[in-house]
Amino acid sequence: MADFADLKSSWTRGHSRSVAELAKAAGIEARLSTEQCDQLSRAGLVHDLGQVGIENGIWDKPGDLSTDEWEKVRLHSYWTDRILSRCPALAPLGALASSHHERMDGTGYHRQSTADQLTVEARLLAAADVLVALTSRRPHRNSFDLETAATLMREAASIRHLDKAAVEFAIAAVGGKAENPESFNPDGLTDREIEVLKLSSRGSTNRQVARQLFISVKTVGRHVENIYAKIGVSTRAGTAIYAMENRLIH
């Protein structure tokens, strides 16, 4: 299926296999489970199936795309999800495989997901897809060397397009020099929940947390409830121990 999708354009031959291999390798660097790494590999193989629904004239165009052409390009991840949904055995891969163009700040496509909605696997798949693309020739540019590609990806991470940790794990996976890759948030905690957890673990009340983060006390309460549910504790002492075990506070 990966090879079939990549036959669409001479510029993408081998792209899906490369993304699958890199995504899995990045998952290993990030110390994900074997099951998660296998899912990354499978999603990488089928992530670009939707590109077969877009005419070659767009994929092979050497110049800038028009607005209409960009709208068609933005649909290819949607078609990936739709294609996979038709097969019960492959449908579970749809959400992940079709997330490779989502961005942390919500500017990606086709769902315009934000950081809180993107799983660790989705962030790694996006980074792998970008790194493979940057180091490959395209009709409108030559390939970048690894050092230049790494710089471009770190710039994208600095403005919250890509996940910083995912970028560093992807770079490390291809033998590049990673810049102290950070760990992903544990147990599916969002960035905001991590902030709340750190403050409450140090003894701050909900009202104090709200004041420091410029959010309402009610919102803090909801975050605390979500944190308890995700990490399996029911007391602030439990969150403090969890925070120390996961090196969230020092």
Query: How far apart (Å, rounded) are the C-alpha atoms in residues 154 and 162?
Result: 8
Per-residue pLDDT tens listing for the chain (250 residues):
899 899 888 889 899 999 999 999 999 999 899 999 999 999 999 999 999 999 999 999 999 999 999 999 999 999 999 999 999 999 999 999 999 999 999 999 999 999 989 999 999 999 999 999 999 999 999 999 999 999 999 999 999 999 999 999 999 999 876 666 666 778 888 889 999 999 998 889 999 999 999 999 999 999 999 999 999 999 988 888 888 887 787 6
- The Cα–Cα gap between 50 and 101 comes to 12
pLDDT at 243: 87
- Is pTM beyond 0.85? Reply is no
CA angle 32, 44, 145 (to 5 degrees): 90
Facing residues of 105 across strands?
114
DSSP per position, 26-74: HHHHTT--HHHHHHHHHHHHHTTGGGGGS-HHHHT-SSPPPHHHHHHHT
All structural domains of the chain, each given as residue ranges with its CATH number in brackets, are 2-173 (1.10.3210.10), 186-245 (1.10.10.10)
